[in-house]
Amino acid sequence: MKLLAITLKDMTRSFRSVFALAFMFGVPLLVTGMFYLMFGGSVGSEGAAFTLPRTRVVVADLDEGSPYFQMDGDNAEDLQDMGDILTHMLSGPQLAELIEVTFASDALSARAAVDRQEAGIALVIPANFTRAMIEPQAVAEVELYHDPTLTLSPGIVRTLVERAIDSAAGPKLGLGVIVKQMEAAGLSPDAAQQQSLAMRLIGDTSGAPAELVTLRASEGEAPTADPLAAMLGLIMGGMTVFYAFYTGATSAQTIMTEQEHGTLQRLFTTPVTIPTVLGGKYLATGLTVLVQMIVLLVCGRLIFNIRWGALPEVALTILGTALVATSMGIFLISLLKTDKQVGMVFGVGLTITGMVGIFSAFTGGAPGASSVADRFALFVPQGWSMAALRAGMDGNGLVAVLPFFLGMLAWSVVFFFIGVRRFSKRFA
Amino acid sequence: MTTNTSIEVRDLKKYFGPVKAVDGIDFKVQQGEIFSLLGPNGAGKTTTISMISCLLQPDSGEVLVMGHSTRSAAQQVKAAIGVVPQEIALYEDLSARENLTFWGKMYGMRGGMLKQRVDEVLELIGLTEHAARRSGKFSGGMKRRLNIGIALLHHPQVIIMDEPTVGIDPQSRRSILDGVRALNREGATVLYTTHYMEEAEELSNHIAIMDHGHLIALGTHAELIRLVGQQTRIDLTLNAENPAVLPAWQQVDGVSQVYAEDGHLSVLVNDSNAVLPHLFEAATTVDARITGIDIKEPNLEAVFLHLTGRALRDG
């Protein structure tokens, strides 16, 4: 009863503070809203989504192929070389809402189309593109020439091209290893044999060439149906996690402010125990973070059409985040002696760890940077929360979210026991 | 501990490093009385109160409240006392009613009984009309009253008030002193700390004077006054500063002590009527002219001066 009274009192005070409300709800929504406006997104009737303007890509496919290049499957007649595969992928239905592909006869006219602003991007596939894919020593250079005023679409096209090339580079590396092993065994495959081997590896590893690049989206939606909503999801998810931890620390800070205002000492003159006071405050902080996250995620869904994933995954993420944000708040505040030290803890303890933890929200489209950021983020609790949120958004199921939830639980237990121990010693 | 003793303090000590905040004090507060702890700032009053309120653990010694030890039965002690802290301790973003309701719950009250008692206390402290206003918007006096009201919610047997009139206007101060007397008339035992001797004189059945962690005197007002032998204090003002006047007055028959404080000159005498003409004569001999006289009957200030050689307000 007393514990719940303390919880209710603390929550009432939190939700009456304009400053706290602004940080809990205003700032995350504002930041996401700014991105929304920046990219000209609009929401219409139910199901309407953000759209990026289609980018015109003019392709100069100069690939001369290779006599050893042969494709099997439905599109085999159309796909004579690797250049064909790349252009086929770019002009496929999956990217139709993002990219409109036209063709030019040579590199010069492709670049000229960009200069005349008839296209945003020129993609020049060199004559030795296929040979570079299947000959061990050959190297080719794909050229992307784009309108300098464009910011987002060149990055998207570049990522798509890189992924396609990366997929073909695997078999080429495998070829090198096989050739070396054959030479070590006294066999010397000639160029024709090597290219034939390369084609077999490409066929084995990629299956149908049209599936060199696949994009995924949650809940079985068409992968590129709402790319800006997915990007906004990462940003708002990051903001939600970042400010959830702020709320955790700010709410836990009431222990310090009550101590400075004398109400904590007064509480200890009433027949209430220290664990009851700390328990009430812990519960209030946790519930405040819980309310904050639920409101933000619901707003994200309703205002920005963000799909957070299935309910059980989202619920587990919210619960884990509330636990770890609260415990981390109690831990951080337990390190302080006075309210004046709060800036240090918020600046170093929360802002830096928060930025590290949600960094992946801003590198979602860049494969290399994203994987580094993902790994680095797991050094801080915010990273685990962000990873859980992303696993849910990717539609990977409860099994994918569970490890991150357990990670958050582990952080919580450590923070909770250190924090409570320090406070108990202080008030004993 | 006798059956009519509310608080018993035995050889209580609390040191903060080299500072002996409370250094072996003993006293008893009888049921139904107002007991004042009087002393300058830093005398150890608040530390003593904090140990009686279970906020601080004594280094040694013992405190019994209504027969319960603060060491072994802190919860019973806390249930028996209502503490009014020196600093206003309210939730300023909650209304007066919300504050009282919350603190009532901390004392284990609930439901209709709590609501009724909150209404009674609001009436008692004169804040019924402001019950729904956030306490942060209250004047200093209203906050003080609410601060006191919180301590009265659960009908405590002992009310502990730590300098409740610090920094407030005379009207609110008068209201608080009247309130303390009213509570006492209803049977509450009051332990009251102050550094205003007038408050201690006006309110208390017994007064304990503290200085530098020690209890230097304890008794009724009359008993304490007898310590200085009914001496009268005469405050004198000169037309100009003249250091020679102090030794001149010290030579006058009937003067027991002369001292300067805050630009005023004071002498302690046994019979003011007999001594006063001689003070004028002595001033004239050193070319000083007296321009103002204020004669004060023996009071606790004089007692403190007599016992410590310092004025009470010197601290």
Identify the H or E element spanning A368: helix A367-377
Residue B300 sits at the vertex; the CA angle it makes with B296 and B301, to the nearest 5 degrees, is 65
Q: Which residue of B has its CA nearest to A264?
A: B89
Neighbours of A62 (CB within 10 A): 17
Could you tell me which chain A residue has the CA closest to the CA of B85? A266
Contacts of A362 (CB under 8 A, 6+ apart): A234, A235, A238
Same domain as A333, residue A196:
no
Predicted ipTM > 0.90: no
- Contact check, Cβ <8 Å, B102/A5: yes
Cβ of residue B79 closer than 8 Å to a chain A Cβ: yes
Per mean pLDDT, which range of A201-215, B36-50, B237-251 is the poorest?
A: A201-215
Please check whether residue A49 lies inside any domain of the structure: no
In a domain, A339, yes or no: yes
Same domain, B139 and B261: no
Q: Which residue has the higher pLDDT, B176 or A198?
A: B176
Q: Compute the distance between CA of residue B260 and CA of residue B252 in angstroms, rounded to an integer.
A: 17
Q: Is residue A47 part of a domain?
A: no
Q: How far is CA A76 from CA A79, A82, A376, in A?
A: 5, 12, 43
Of the partner residues A12, A262, A271, the one whose CB lies closest to the CB of residue B108: A271
Q: What is the CATH number of the domain that holds B30?
A: 3.40.50.300
- Identify whether residues B210 and B261 lie together within a single domain: no
Domain extent at residue B272:
231-297
In a domain, B245, yes or no: yes
Q: Does A15 touch chain B (CB under 8 A)?
A: no
| Judgement on whether residues B151 and B245 belong to the same structural domain of the protein | no
Task: Report CA torsion sign: B177, B180, B185, B189.
Answer: negative
Q: Distance (Å) from the C-alpha of residue A7 to the closest C-alpha of chain B?
A: 11
Q: What is the DSSP letter of A341?
A: G
Query: Residue B266's domain is classified under what CATH number?
Result: 3.30.70.100
Phi and psi angles of residue B7, each rounded to the nearest 5 degrees, phi first: -130, 135
- Minimal Cα–Cα distance from A327 to chain B, Å? 24
Query: Which of B54, B79, B106 comes nearest A2 by C-beta?
Result: B106
Last residue of a domain, one of A188, A220, A252: A220
At A172 the pLDDT is: 73
Sign of the torsion angle spanned by Cα atoms B152, B153, B157, B162: negative
Which residue, A212, A230, A220, A246, is CA-closest to A90? A212
**A23 shares its domain with A78:** no
Paired tokens of A57: 């890509």
Does residue B34 belong to any structural domain of this protein? yes
| Residues of chain A neighbouring B55 (CB-CB closer than 8 A) | 265, 268-269
Helix (H, G, I), strand (E, B) or coil at B207: strand
CB < 8 Å to A262, chain B: 85, 87-89
A200 plus A236 within the same structural domain: no
The answer to whether A5 and A217 are in contact (CB under 8 A) is no
Q: Which of A175-184, A266-275, A276-285 has the lowest mean pLDDT?
A: A175-184
Indicate the residue among B178, B194, B225 that finishes a domain.
B225
Cβ proximity of A120 and A150 under 8 Å:
yes
Name the pLDDT band for B151 (thresholds 50, 70, 90): very high
Q: Is there a domain that residue B105 lies in?
A: no
DSSP string, B283-303: HHHTT--EEEEEEE---HHHH
Task: Please write the tens of the pLDDT for every residue from A27-63.
Answer: 888 888 888 887 765 444 444 445 567 788 999 988 8
Report the gap between the CA of B87 and the closest CA in chain A (Å).
Answer: 7
The verdict on B88 touching A (C-beta cutoff 8 Å) is: yes
A265 in contact with B at a CB cutoff of 8 Å? yes
Same domain, B24 and B141: yes
Distance of CA A394 to the CA centre of its chain: 9
Distance separating the N- and C-terminal Cα atoms of chain A: 22
CATH of the domain at A184: 3.40.1710
Q: Does A19 touch chain B (CB under 8 A)?
A: no
Residues B196 and B212 in one domain: yes
* Containing structural domain, residue A93: 55-220
Looking at the structure, do residues A27 and A134 belong to the same domain, yes or no?
A: no
| B210 and B262 inside one domain | no
Query: Rounded to whole angstroms, what are the CA distances from A265 to A174, A185, B64?
Result: 71, 83, 20
Residue B149 in domain? yes
Are both B200 and B261 inside the same structural domain? no
Q: Count of domains in chain B?
A: 2
- B107–A269: do the CB atoms touch at under 8 Å? no
* Same domain flag for B89 and B148: yes
A404 has a pLDDT exceeding 70: yes
Query: Sign of the CA dihedral A7, A8, A14, A17?
Result: negative
Task: Please tell me whether residues B22 and B171 are part of one structural domain.
Answer: yes
Q: What is the mean pLDDT of chain B?
A: 88
Where is mean pLDDT largest: A96-105, A146-155, A254-263, A283-292? A283-292
Domain assignment present for residue A48? The answer is no
In angstroms, rounded to a whole number, what is the distance separating the alpha carbons of residues A49 and A305?
Answer: 7
> Would you say residue A109 lies in a domain?
yes
**What is the per-residue pLDDT for B49?**
94
Q: Does B67 share its domain with B12?
A: yes
Same domain, A11 and A72: no
Q: Does A5 touch chain B (CB under 8 A)?
A: yes
Cβ-defined contact of B105 to A271 (cutoff 8 Å): no
> What is the model's pLDDT at position A205?
53
Answer yes or no: do A160 and A234 share one domain.
Answer: no
β-pair type (B189-194, B158-162): parallel
Q: How far is CA B87 from CA A253, A269, B101, in A?
A: 20, 14, 20
d(Cα B117, Cα A136) in Å, to the nearest integer? 90
Confidence class for position B232, pLDDT limits 50, 70, 90: confident
> Pick from A194, A220, A246: which residue ends a domain?
A220
Q: Is the pLDDT of residue A415 over 50?
A: yes
Q: Which residues pair with B29 in a beta bridge?
A: B7
Q: Which residues pair with B158 in a beta bridge?
A: B81, B189
Here the tokens at position B127 are: 């804040």
Tell whether A73 and A170 lie within a shared domain.
yes
Which of these three, A220, A237, A255, is where a domain ends? A220
State whether B145 and B290 are in the same domain.
no
At A44 the pLDDT is 44
* Separation of alpha carbons A390 and A384, rounded Å: 10
Residues A205 and A296 in one domain: no
Residues B240, B203 within the same domain: no
